[in-house]
A and B are shown apart, each in its own frame.
Chain A
Amino acid sequence: MKKKIDQIIQDRSLYQCLECGKCTAVCPRRLTGKEYSPRLLAHKVIVEREDESFIENAVWECLTCDICSERCPSGVDFSGFILEMRELLAETKGLKGYRAHDGAIHSWMRMMTAPELKQNRLEWITEDLKIAAAGDVAYFVGCAPYFDIFFAGIEVDTLTIARDSIRLLNFLDIQPVLLPDERCCGHDLLWTGDRANFERLQKLNYETFKNAGIREVIVSCPECYQILSEYMPKVIPEFDLKITLLLDLIQKQMHKGGTVFEPLKRRATFQDPCRLSRMLNREAGPRDLLNSIPSLRFTEMEHNGRSAICCGNSAFINCDAHSKQIQIQRLQEAKNTGSDLLVTACPKCMIHLTCALRDRVKQGKFNLEIRDLMSIVADRIKWYGG
């Protein structure tokens, strides 16, 4: 155990920590008054490791939004450290953090690790979507059908993102294959320390892609994209799939020329998903698209791009009053831009911010519509002269 922690500290450059405290100064959880400090956690794990209860609690507090690593002058990979510590604590002590929604979401993700699974996950496809029965390009739907049911109570429609993404692909003359037995990408299991089941999902998904003869997988969710493109190859040594982010594909097409946008008379702002902006370095893409839509008045929030603040929760653990406060602040920032349309690019941001938007106490205070970037683009994009 001691050796393992030493190894994690070394791998994630925690010894480089200067104790400057910039991480704690920008931590969204700390800023809403939570007794949590990345700096103190780094300190404890290096020199006061006997304070086990402190470390065990603090490791599960992190949102893994990566803004601390963004600010760190020494290049400490704090989110990576948290990831490995969670794996270690889950494995050795059976810890799993305080799971939101009583762990229902993690339950269905774990249920998907059964190899005999026969899902009914494609019943939402409407007739206007062109789907290929076989081919080498797949669209990865992820957990959208599940979220759609589970979060029906707060009226989040995550399947709209999937439908609009397919519409976009059809627009680009791509008819994707949708796999009936594709499983959760495993993001939330990975970030809550459940390594064994995460790896099962990678193997099963890879097998599913290979059996269907897939060579390229197109993904709209930044979390799924991060897992498929960065983590799956680490689990599967023979990995040879091409993983494409739909945002990149659209952006590329737009710069190639031939497409135009119909005007949209709205004022909009953008919530950067942490995976997309800080971890995948794609903060420019969404702005590129939004700024190309005529009549759309796009205004940045006070904290934006790589400095954007998290939507309040990640991997569905430790949702509490502080998460709600982060979300309310975020909505307030969006409102302060004078926008009535809040664009996001990750279904999780959409779920969490909608949850705060529907808060009974704050009801009606934020008159905002939350939509996914892909939905807006799918609505407005046209071929030139077409």
Chain B
Amino acid sequence: MKKVRLLGICCNWSPFACYNAAGMAKLKMPDNFKLIRVMCIGRINQALVLRAFEYGADGVILLECSDEDCRYGPGPEIGHENVKRVRKLLHLLGINQERLVEKSFAAHEKEEFVNALWEFADKMETLGPVTQQKTAAHV
């Protein structure tokens, strides 16, 4: 089966601590992932998520802190709002809304983190690549 292309956008704090710990513990993670570290998921706006799909991602997962853990304040809430809107745009464009997922973690949840990545990767594998081939010339 053709592998799908996945993007994880990872908050620098709790989720990245999980990622780090998972790496130290040598837990196996899906290899068709690109992971981008950002200071806070509140940094990510609708445009950046949409652009991931424009540039050919088959699935995007936002890895964020839980609402009460945000180091800056409203980060995850902004994440929820953006996910809600971008999902509606994806639906208009005929792209399955489940291709955009958000998941929150506490700093010690490395197993949960790895499991979430696997679960997401498996689900995207069943959905397969986005059928609209990326024929657009990106300017």
A residues neighboring B (CB under 8 Å): 90, 94, 96, 101-104, 107-108, 110-121, 145-146, 149-150, 152, 193-194, 196-197, 200
Contact = CB atoms under 8 A, between A and B. Distances in A.
Contacts of B91: 120
Per DSSP, chain A at the interface is helix
Interface string B88-116: 11011110000000000000000000000
A149 B92 contact: yes
A169 B24 CA distance: 66
A194 B137 CA distance: 9
B47 interface: yes
B45 interface: yes
A197 B48 CA distance: 20
Nearest to B85: A149
Given A111-B93, A112-B93, A119-B93, A196 B51 contact: no
A104 B133 contact: no
B35 interface: no
Contacts of A119: 92-94
Given A104-B47, A111-B53, A111-B93, A117 B132 contact: yes
Contact of A193 (B51, B53, B94, B139): B139
Given A96-B139, A116-B132, 14 more contacts: A94-B139, A101-B47, A102-B45, A107-B47, A107-B54, A108-B54, A114-B135, A116-B131, A117-B132, A119-B93, A120-B94, A145-B92, A146-B92, A193-B139
B135 A115 contact: yes
Contacts of A118: 94, 131-132
A110 B54 contact: yes
8 contacts: A94-B139, A101-B45, A104-B46, A111-B54, A116-B131, A119-B93, A150-B46, A196-B137
B138 interface: yes
Contacts of A121: 92
Contacts of B132: 111, 114, 116-118
B48 A194 contact: no
A146 B134 CA distance: 20
Given A117-B94, A149-B85, A103 B51 contact: yes
A121 to B, nearest CB: 6
Contacts of B51: 102-104, 107
A103 B51 CA distance: 8
B87 to A, nearest CB: 10
A108 B89 contact: yes
A131 B14 CA distance: 52
A114 to B, nearest CB: 4
Given A104-B46, A117-B93, A149 B88 contact: yes
B136 interface: yes
A328 to B, nearest CB: 24
A120 B94 CA distance: 6
Contacts of B134: 114
Contacts of B21: none
Interface in B49-101: 50-51, 53-54, 85, 88-89, 91-94
A108 B93 contact: yes
Q: Which of A111, A112, A149 has the most CB of B within 10 A?
A: A111
A150 B82 CA distance: 10
Nearest to B53: A111
A111 B135 CA distance: 9
Residue among A94, A116, A200 with most chain B CB within 10 A: A116
